[in-house]
Structure 1
Amino acid sequence: MPKLCIHALSLLLWIPAVLCGVTTEGEYSVLEGQTVVISCHYEPQYEHYVKYWCRGTTREFCTILARTDDLSSSLAKDGVSISDDLDQLVFTVTMENVKKGHTGWYICGVEIGSIWSADVVTYSNIRVLDGMSVVNNQVTGEEGKSVTVECLYSERYRESRKKWCRSGDWSSCRLIDAGKSYEDASVAISDDRTRTYTVTLKKLQLKDTGWYTCSAGKHKISVKVLVTPRPKDAVKVTSTPATSQCNAYVPPKLSTKQSSQSNHVVTWLVCTAVVLLLGTAIFGRKLWKVRKQEAVLSHVNDIKARLNKYPVPDVGEQPDATVVFLTRDNKRDDAFLY
């Protein structure tokens, strides 16, 4: 039981290291002889702690290469340096002129300095490659202009011949010796012997679009060159100035926006007039119908009033009923009896 408690306590000590107190990229790839920069981000509570960079897979067996509390050259070895940016909460490690032997696992660490808490760490794997690389795998240039390709090579190919070829066309290959340069009407190549040589394609044509290769020693890498058409020139319109002069006032030409606003106003006025006319016509027709109905009702009421002057006797009391019809001519008071 005591042993189990001890093991559990030892696991708790490593919890801060697992909770992402420090983060960085998991893997870096760099050509031999180049420089690699590693950024290690940490949480605000570790701002004033000591940071370090070491080589190894565990803290106990990790070889310290650089520390933020000792920036002397005696500690920063093998071209390794470290700096801490307290404002950005990141410390940066720089490894210069890396060799194949630098390939391996490294640790970004924050030193807690307590027997009860483990250091906060994260791991990075650095791979040092032997061969070729390019800054951009695809470059684009405009027809008639130039475009530049930067070819990178590892340290061991510093003295090797460099070659630039169009893929599938070996007659197009151009060779230069280390530290030399070459130039003709369509291409310029130069090697500065600092693990980079540049290729400049001049006076680009649309047919230059395609795949090319950078080579150094036995290694080569492909690059795609894309040539875009030259933009068409705008058509220039020239006008002959008038010979005669006129002092008459010429109203300024309305801009497109003002003309559009004027058209909207005219359209709105026309629509408003049409709506008013339709409304007036509908109102007049309604009024005419009302007046007509009033005349008919007046006439009917007049007839009813005249009929009420002659009461009709009860049909049940007299066997012979008399019906009186009045003519429309009010001048006569004749009656037709049946």
Structure 2
Amino acid sequence: MQYLLIVIFFVQGIERTWTEKKLTLQTGGSVTIPCHYDRGFIQHKKYWCYHDKAAFNYCSILAYANTTEGKVTVTDNPAQSLFTVTMRDLEEDHTGTYWCAVEIEGIFQLDVTEQLYFTVTSAPAVSVNRNSVSGEEGSSVSVQCLYSAAYQNKHKQWCRSTDWSCYTVGRTYTSQNSTVWISDDGKTFFKVEMSGLKKSDAGWYWCSVGDVQVPVHLTVTEDTGHRTVVVLTVFAGLTLLAGVAFWMWRRKRGSRQSESQKRNTEWEQHNAELSYSSVIFKESKKKLGQRDTEAQQTSLQSEEPVTYSTLTNVKQSP
């Protein structure tokens, strides 16, 4: 039973360990390594481990994710399913074997690891002119992968870190992403050109010469020119809508004023002919005859004054 357990451990270790990468690094410089992991391990602890004799079981944990220990910083990026390790002020005694590791809890399970071997020297055999490049959507970027004379005839590739899909020297690759062209001068460097960048191109790549690799990070930013056009278009549209709204408001207001003016005109026309009333008060002056009786005199004297009203229409001059 003991031997069976040993076999299981060995098999699991082989399945969970990726191909070793070799890097040649400059003394006094720095390097950032991408460590990818399965999304099922997002909640697990990640760490960076070192041993000069390539014995993982005896390696020393230099730093856990989201911490800085001395010259080492480990940063976890769960959204991208990767953590990065940055080592600064490299020295020759930093030469040795390192592991990107995801901690797996359980007696019968090994930690998930990726092995890398660093050679730190004053004259790296393989390097890049820029470890980080950036370009806008639709634009182009280029990277020079430098190599020594001993690597002139080695196989050269530009590989994406997530799935290790690689582009080879002397061929043009056009896909749903950017167009990639790789040319080699055959002496000191090969050049990678990526044109028509898309946001999906962003991420980590490796310059690979023979069995040596160097990491390069690509950032793709939003096209500011396109954004300016969009902003101007939106502004023009809003201005047009505001103009139309103002025109409609003025038209509606003018219509209301016309109706008011029309009503005023009708009222003026209706009242163009004015009516004047003359009121005349007249008393009855009936002449009494000699044969009038005294009673008749009394009755006439008690009569109320009579009022006469005359209406005259006078048309106003225009």
Q: Same fold (TM over 0.5)?
A: no
Greater share of strand: 2
**Per chain length, whose mean CA-contact separation is higher, i.e. which structure has more relative contact order (CA < 8 Å, sep 6+)?**
2
Q: What is the TM-score when the length of structure 2 is the normalising length?
A: 0.37
